[in-house]
Amino acid sequence: MSEKKKGLLLLSGGLDSAVALHLMKEQDIELEAVHFTSHFCTCGGKGGGCGPASKIAESAGIKLHIVSKGEDYLDVIKKPKHGRGSNMNACIDCRIYSFRKAKELMEKIGASFIVTGEVLDQRPMSQHRKAMLTIEKEAELDGLILRPLSALVLEETFPEKAGWVDRKKFKNISGRGRKEQLSFAKEKGVKDFSCPAGGCLLTDPQFSRRFKDLMEDKPEFGSKDVALLKYGRHFRLGEKAKLAVGRNQSENEILEQMKGPADLTFVLADFNGPLALLTGENIKKYTEFSAAITARYGDVPDRESRVKVEMTGPAGTGKILLAVRPAKDAELAGFLI
Ligand code: SF4
């Protein structure tokens, strides 16, 4: 009698990986799952992981490992060997990174293969046949990545050849449509897949512009610099100076918390408005303009007169009041990232 094997499922929390989980539950194998969070995740995966992935794993009764992609992931995204997609997404290198991490976990938990919800030809960069083979090879997982949704239109994997799983129970889905997955999910009562598979800021054009600007401004950037890109309106004031202006109370608070020892913040002294955070080098020459931008986004009734803006420097240096006229939109053109 053959020994029961264990698989490790990459569970994003999206529809496809949820369907993959249910297809694998019909097999005579043990299953654990891993969910990756990253600096670019849009589904709030901070420490506790993506809610939908946790719910899906819990309702299926399988163990979920949450792995956060570290600073080494940023190195991969800074200089992707296989290039980028239509925005700053470096999907092939990103997948190689994830599969390498998954392989480490697979070996640690005594699993024998990896399972994913990938569908052949669903995504233009990383899910066509050639890219899939490249990813498998560079992650040193040749033949060990099982994709149950597309298994019947892909080459047989080692787990299928060895009889660990029954290939006949898998599907032959390919392409971008989700009809078949949705009807399977409905039939089997698969729920909680609200976290979309495409929840990655690197595919977002506006975030990509900011990310590109950061790479040019500060090639040695780290997690904190990336985190700042997610909040507020951003203005490139000089080669090494950037202003982030909060768009609501929550962003104001976050920007204030992100203030570093050499940074400056701006708030209106007499009206409600944003908190703006000025970062970079030699930033003092941008204080007047930063104050005017802060006033532009405040509840200032008279936009032709000067208003007071409070500038705060490093702790213990006190506040300085600047009197500025709110900036006009035409004056901001070319600065907004
Ligand atoms: S969309 Fe983002 S998370 Fe997904 S593979 Fe591409 S770079 Fe990685």
Model pLDDT for residues 28-77, shown as the tens digit of each residue: 999 999 999 999 988 654 433 478 899 999 999 999 999 999 999 999 99
Q: Which atom of ligand 1 is nearest the CA belonging to 98?
A: 8
Tokens, residue 312: 């705060």
* 3-state SS assignment for residue 212: helix
Write out the CATH class of domain 6-200.
alpha beta
CB 31 within 8 A of CB 25: yes
Length of the chain counted residue by residue: 337
Q: If you measure from the C-alpha of residue 298 to the centroid of ligand 1, how many angstroms do you get, rounded to a whole number?
A: 36
What residues in the chain have per-residue pLDDT under 50?
Answer: 1, 45-49, 197
How far is ligand 1, taken at its centre, from the CA of residue 222, in Å? Answer: 18
CA–CA gap between residue 29 and residue 46 (Å, rounded)? 30
How many other CB atoms sit within 10 Å of the CB of residue 229?
23
Number of separate helices (H) and strands (E) present in the chain: 12, 11
**Which part of the chain has CATH 3.40.50.620?**
6-200
The helix or strand, by DSSP H or E, that contains position 59, with its residue range, turns out to be helix 51-60
- Pairing mode, if any, of strands 6-10 and 113-115? parallel
CB 273 within 8 A of CB 307: no
Question: What is the pLDDT, as a whole number, of residue 48?
Answer: 39
* pLDDT at site 186: 94
With beta carbons less than 8 A apart as the criterion, state whether 198 and 298 touch.
no
Whether the CB-CB separation of 268 and 308 falls below 8 Å is answered with yes
Question: Which residue's CA is the closest to the ligand 1 atom numbered 6?
Answer: 91
Q: Give 148's contacts (C-beta < 8 A, 6+ positions apart).
A: 20, 23, 24, 115, 169, 170, 171
- Name the residue of 94, 116, 204 whose CB sits within 8 Å of the most ligand 1 atoms, as the mutation to test its pocket: 94
Ligand 1 pocket, Cβ-based, cut-off 6 angstroms: 89-91, 94-95, 126, 200, 202-203
Cα 322 to its chain centre, rounded Å, is: 38
Note the pLDDT of residue 281: 94
Centre of ligand 1 from the C-alpha of residue 156, in Å = 26
pLDDT of residue 192: 83
Q: What is the pLDDT of residue 317?
A: 84
Helix H or strand E encompassing 322: strand 319-324
Question: What does the pLDDT look like over 272-302, one tens digit per residue?
Answer: 999 999 999 999 999 999 999 999 999 999 9
Query: Which residues are 321's β-sheet partners?
Result: 310
Q: Is 152 helix (H, G, I), strand (E, B) or coil?
A: helix
Place of tokens 């992650």: 139
For 268, the token pair is 């209106």
pLDDT at residue number 238: 95
Q: Cα(90) to centroid of ligand 1, in Å?
A: 7
Q: Which amino acid makes up residue 50?
A: C
